[in-house]
Structure formats: C-alpha cells, structure tokens
Amino acid sequence: MDTTSLLWVGALMAVALGLAGVVLPLLPGTPLLFGGLWLAAWLDGYSRVSMLTVGVLAVMALLAWVADYAAAALGVRRAGASGRAMAGAAIGAVLGAFAGLPGLIVGPVLGAMAGEWSVRRHAGQATRAGIAAGLGFVIAVAAKLGLALGMLGVFAFSYFV
C-alpha cells in the first residue's frame, strides 16, 4: 500500500472517529472530523474541495467546539448552579462515557447534582443543576451533530458536485 492510500485511510479514520467523538466526550469530535476532511482535501490537491471550503469547514468546527462548552456551561449557570456543579457535570460526562449511552446522559446529571450538593446541601437546587446539566449536554450534542453532518454535507457537495 502506497503512502497516499495510507493517508486516505487515515483521513477516513479521522472522519469516523470524529463522528463518534460528537457523542462521546473523550474524543475531540469536530476537530478530528475537520482534520480528516482537510487531509482528504489536501490529498486531492484542493482540486475538488477548495481552500475556501476548508475555511468554511474550519468555522463550522469552531462553532461546534464553542457549542459544546457553551451549552453545558450556560445551562448549569442559568439554573443558578455553582462552579463545582459545572465541574461535576464535566467529570460525570467523562465517567459516564464508560457506561455507554445511558451513562453519557446520566453522568453529567449526577455529576452536577453531586457538585451542587457538595456546595449548598440543598436537594432542590442540586436537582435543578443536574437537570440543567443534562439538558445542556443534550443541546450541545444536538448542535455538534447538526454541525458535523453539515460539515460532511459541505464537503460532499464540494467534492462530488
């Protein structure tokens, strides 16, 4: 197998891992997706996918990265939760990833609840923080998934049309 073929395999693997990373908190989803798409454009000599298109993909990847952090943080903050609840939600998301899809949703909720409980010892506020963290996580995943699919669409349109 020649080097170009290996690089194409690498680009496809980066795209596949990037798509998985949109949902899994341990993988940098959209940066991997962008890297794979950029590598594919480069391997083609930018003949089908221009640098302008790569720039659009970069902006979309940046928006997905911002959405990931902003949705979760704003959701917890809007519920009036503490910084420890936000940290708990992040830790819960990482630990929840090891429990599969249910853990991805329940992990941030329980993490935010535990973090808020450790600060205020108020069950109602801890529950609000947990629900806000869960909603923020779901909104962030939906935004990232939409942008990731949009990135694939922009690339495919540019490559095949």
**31-65 per-residue burial string, b: 16 or more CB within 10 A, e: under 16:** bbbbbbbbbbbeeeeeeebeeebbebbbebbebbb
What are 37-47's pLDDT values in tens digits? Answer: 999 999 999 99
Residue 151 clears pLDDT 90, i.e. is over it? yes
Sign of CA dihedral 49, 50, 54, 57: negative
Burial class (CB in 10 A: 0-12, 13-18, 19+), 119: middle
- Beta-carbon contacts of 90 under 8 Å, excluding residues fewer than 6 positions away, are 72, 108, 111
Compute the distance between CA of residue 7 and CA of residue 5 in angstroms, rounded to an integer: 5
What are 12-21's pLDDT values in tens digits? Answer: 999 999 999 9
pTM of the model as a whole = 0.81
CA 1 and chain centroid, separation: 33
Compute the distance between CA of residue 25 and CA of residue 13 in angstroms, rounded to an integer: 18
What are 76-106's pLDDT values in tens digits? Answer: 777 888 888 888 888 888 888 788 778 878 8
Q: Tokens 């089908």 appear where?
A: 48
